[in-house]
Structure 1
Amino acid sequence: MNNTHPIALVTGASSGIGRVTAEQLALAGYKVYGTSRTRTATAPPSFETLILDVNSDDSVNAAVAELIRREGRIDLLVNNAGFGIAPAGAEESSMAQARAIFDTNFFGLIRMTQAVLPQMRQQRAGRIINIGSVLGFLPMPYAALYAATKHAVAGYSESLDHEVRSHGVRVIVIEPAYTKTQFDANMIPPDRPIGAYADIRASLAKTIQQIMVNADAPDVVAKAVLKSAAAKQPDLRYTAGTLAGRLRLLRRFAPAKILDRGIRKDLGLDVGVSS
């Protein structure tokens, strides 16, 4: 049993934000277990890999039990696993596709949380950090389902934090904006495309591609995770990066109509049609 280093578990650590976060936690002195749905030949030497599918109760419970068997405790859980749907109208996704994105992005996070909380409560210490998004407090036209999952993550996290705080556990949300990873390349297309949205889908794909040129590197998110993990009195929410911080301020202080027009202008939508 390892009692020297705090033990961290990071989901979706095969690439992108999850992998960089796992590597940075390891450099900060954590013993890190990253999860992946499949065994990868490119697993980095800085952390160990567990096979885990957040969509499966059995897989989640088995992986968490194995980690506790090896280490005896879990000090930090970073819920990062998730996917997106390519820019599309909300009605272009079937109910099956809507359930699928919620099952991974939201219910998968709940599965992981419920699996580690008994151990954290028993040891009366632990921190759960959920990778949310600025889309957890802002709307995103043509990404309604993804934004809905991130709004759900934010609401669940803040509510849960109040419940478990008296047991020595804290729950935190990290809210990045656009981040340079393979996330966009791995987005799935809508499963029932509608011709009325074809032009805007193509236009938005180009707009987002241009925005991503200046997107933050994943280490910006990893730094926010480390900051929140180390804080003695953590905030409930941490934005990651300059743009995310600016958007948080706009959401808080800007008049609703100005924010509405800004969102439409940035995405190349008709700014003459507003709330």
Structure 2
Amino acid sequence: MKTTSPQVALVTGASSGIGKATTLTLAHAGFTVIGTSRDTSRIAPGNGVAFLDLDVTSDESVASVVEQVLERFGRLDVLVNNAGLGIDGAAEEISMAQTQSLFDVNVFGLIRMTKAVLPHMRTRGSGRIINVSSVAGFVPNPFMANYVATKHAVEGYSESLDHEVREYGVRVLRVQPGPVNTSFDANQIQADTPLAVYAHRRGVFEDVMRETMRGGEDPADVAKVIATAAADPKPKLRYTAGSTAARVSVLRRIAPARAFDRSVRKLNRMVD
């Protein structure tokens, strides 16, 4: 009797939050799952998920992990680019070195991973690359300008690349969560040149963000959307994840620009 081996999925940034939930959801759905993190020694084994150390800012580390997966399993069907960083502060307060580090993970790390898996997927004539973006990929957010810029870059790269590789059986999709109840806000990099002029308004933003994150979606709900994108027979270019993301997506498309601008300022308790 002919048997079909399970599809293989590789998930970056899998030690916690959305990434961890995604590994569990994909494993439950029947995928062979490899999760990655900078240091997987702190991750308890089990749940049918294998783990590998990965630094998405290193060409050598990326190439090594993809090679290990292909040698062990002989295939790679789904890549979930989830690894990412946040940064807290006004754009003027964040140094160029910090900005470059942020882009190296959120954008260039995603591109490194994508370039590493594309030759295999293209040769096999099938594959899914799922990039975890954000509502920040299509709306502004004060005191997150540099982070928002990375997510806008992910949006443009993903949609453009999908046109290039679709004829080879490979799809590049985006999942756009709204606020998610994780430790993302607590783990953000702090701006290295804080300025007194922004201190009060930055503090207000941090309060808003804490409240928004604690009331955000369960990471497991976002993981279910990622799993849907991985298996959807007729994949969509983008999948919003959660009620907030869906609502903001609609408002961005239909609300007059001035009204949407006012809503952003109101949400962030800013004055005109």
TM-score, structure 1 length as denominator?
0.96
Conserved 8 A contact 1:139-1:147: yes
1:228-247 aligned at under 5 Å gives the runs 228-247=229-248
Aligned equivalents of 2:45, 2:243: Cα separation in 1: 29
Give the AA of the match of 1:82: G
1:253 matched to 2:263? The reply is no
The CA deviation string for residues 57-86 of structure 1, in whole angstroms up to 9 with x for no partner, is 000000100110001110000000001012
1:117-136 aligned at under 5 Å gives the runs 117-136=118-137
1:227 matched to 2:228? The reply is yes
Give the AA of the match of 1:165: R
Aligned equivalents of 1:103, 1:197: Cα separation in 2: 26
Match of 1:49, SS state, is strand
1:146 matched to 2:147? The reply is yes
Residue aligning to 1:208: 209
Q: CA deviation at 1:121?
A: 0.6
TM-score, structure 2 length as denominator?
0.97
User: Runs ≥4 in structure 1, deviation > 2 angstroms?
Assistant: 39-44
1:155 matched to 2:135? The reply is no
Residue aligning to 2:63: 61
Aligned equivalents of 2:4, 2:107: Cα separation in 1: 32
Match of 1:172, SS state, is strand
Conserved 8 A contact 2:91-2:146: yes
The 1:249/1:21 distance shift into structure 2, 3 A limit, reads: same
Residue aligning to 2:194: 193
The CA deviation string for residues 187-213 of structure 1, in whole angstroms up to 9 with x for no partner, is 010011111101111111112112223
Aligned equivalents of 1:140, 1:52: Cα separation in 2: 30
The CA deviation string for residues 9-61 of structure 1, in whole angstroms up to 9 with x for no partner, is 00000111000001000000000000010133333412000111000000000
Match of 2:66, SS state, is helix
Match of 2:81 among 48, 71, 79: 79
Q: Identity of paired residues, percent?
A: 52
Residue aligning to 1:218: 219
Aligned equivalents of 1:62, 1:213: Cα separation in 2: 37
Aligned equivalents of 1:219, 1:74: Cα separation in 2: 23
Aligned equivalents of 2:72, 2:95: Cα separation in 1: 42
1:103 matched to 2:104? The reply is yes
Give the AA of the match of 2:99: A
CA RMSD between the two structures: 1.1
Conserved 8 A contact 1:124-1:167: yes
The CA deviation string for residues 72-130 of structure 1, in whole angstroms up to 9 with x for no partner, is 110000000001012x1101111111111000000000000000001001110000000
Residue aligning to 2:170: 169
Residue aligning to 2:183: 182
Q: What are the ranges of 5 or more consecutive residues in structure 1 without an aligned counterpart? A: none
Give the AA of the match of 1:264: R
Conserved 8 A contact 2:182-2:213: no
Aligned equivalents of 2:166, 2:40: Cα separation in 1: 35
Conserved 8 A contact 1:68-1:74: yes
Give the AA of the match of 1:84: G
The 1:44/1:178 distance shift into structure 2, 3 A limit, reads: farther
Give the AA of the match of 2:81: N
